[in-house]
Amino acid sequence: MEPRVTDNPGQSRFEIFDGESGELAGFAAYERSDDRIAFTHTEIDPRFEGTGLGGRLVRAALDSVRERGLAVLPYCTFVRGWIGKHPEYIALVPADRRPRFHL
């Protein structure tokens, strides 16, 4: 079974669940405003570190944000670093804000 990513707006975070156990394996917290979403913190449970779930979580979250037509402000260093390694996602960050995030 594949890991599952869901948006939990009540907790203001995207969550990833382990594909085998179904356990919550991590989350990417955000703050939403009008047409922007600011990612503030990403956390993967230590039991699941090194399994690629963090990257899967960020990719799914950013894909969801793209579908909604929102801009991304990557204050979280993990999200910012992931975007830097995947240039096809840089366009989600407003051009005038990219220098602030070194993108």
CB 15 within 8 A of CB 29: no
3-state secondary structure of 52: coil
How much is the pLDDT for 1? Answer: 87
What domain count does the chain have?
A: 1
**Residue 50 is part of a domain; what is its CATH number?**
3.40.630.30
Please give the residue range of the domain that contains residue 17: 4-101
Q: Determine the pLDDT at residue 83.
A: 98
Q: For the chain, 103 residues long, give each residue's pLDDT as a single digit of tens.
A: 899 999 999 999 999 999 989 999 999 999 999 999 999 999 999 999 999 999 999 999 999 999 999 999 999 999 999 999 999 999 999 999 999 999 9
Rounded Cα–Cα distance for residues 56 and 63 (Å): 11
